[in-house]
Homo-oligomer: A and B are copies of this chain.
């Protein structure tokens, strides 16, 4: 993997700016919000709480990739409108997933950062197209992508001219079934030591169990992550998707303050 744009030898370490938020600086970036955008009412209540506790960015899925075609697939355009309105109101940049290259232009009318989800990490068509924009991209690791394939996916984006790539470790598929996925923090250490793009961690999908999220958030930061993306909700048990791994506002507050303390030591 020599002579790649992601390689440290190819240039300075990359900082990715999303409005006033910067990935790759000392301050860790915390992104949070519900799995799916459900309604304006719920979203604005969540958004205000997140803003108050010092979270840096707002997340929420409008287009949801689901295993079954009969499961809730997201509010789509309406979801984008809601999350944009809330982001503007509470003054937090937003990130949301795009699954189809034809939706990119429109999505950029709404979102500040585009998420490429795990299931689309090998969707080279989509990677190249977001590479032709200047938008910040959050690139999740594929369900069973090797570290090397994940880095090459970033290279697909950068090779088209867009260096604004932030990686996101979200757990890999293994034989272990106590947890939903196996969070691979080795991968974070590898990226930080040998490559020049920022990397954050998603402990919600990485564990699948809300009670493990606070501890694994700290562990992720200690492993060198530049930030976290955490599923939270004002009423976690009532989330329309991923309820089992969604944490409360209270729990998130404790994580935010725990990260602050950890930042000082590291």
Chain A residues close to B by CB (< 8 Å): 65-70, 99-102, 119-120, 122-125, 128, 142-144, 146-149, 152, 155-156, 159, 172-179, 182-187, 189-190, 192-193, 206-207, 211-212, 215-216, 218-224, 261-262, 264-266
A-B contacts, 29 of them at CB < 8 A, read: A66-B124, A67-B148, A69-B152, A99-B125, A119-B122, A119-B123, A120-B122, A120-B123, A122-B143, A144-B144, A144-B175, A148-B178, A172-B174, A172-B175, A173-B175, A174-B182, A176-B187, A179-B186, A182-B182, A185-B219, A186-B206, A192-B215, A193-B215, A215-B222, A215-B223, A222-B222, A222-B223, A262-B265, A264-B265
In addition to A99-B124, A143-B144, A144-B173, 6 A-B residue pairs with Cβ atoms within 8 Å of each other are A70-B159, A100-B101, A142-B143, A182-B184, A185-B219, A219-B220
Asked if B122 contacts A69 (CB within 8 A), the reply is: no
Asked if B215 contacts A224 (CB within 8 A), the reply is: yes
* CA distance in complex: A148, B68 (Å): 10
Q: In the complex, which residues of chain B have a beta carbon less than 8 angstroms from the beta carbon of A264?
A: 265
Q: In the complex, which residues of chain B have a beta carbon less than 8 angstroms from the beta carbon of A102?
A: 101-102
Main secondary structure of the interface of A (DSSP, over half): helix
Copies of this chain, count? 4
Q: In the complex, which residues of chain B have a beta carbon less than 8 angstroms from the beta carbon of A122?
A: 65, 119-120, 143
The residue of chain B having its C-beta at the shortest distance from the C-beta of A1 within the complex is B68
Asked if A152 contacts B219 (CB within 8 A), the reply is: no
How near does chain B come to A26, taking the closest CB pair, in angstroms? Answer: 16
* CA distance in complex: A65, B152 (Å): 12
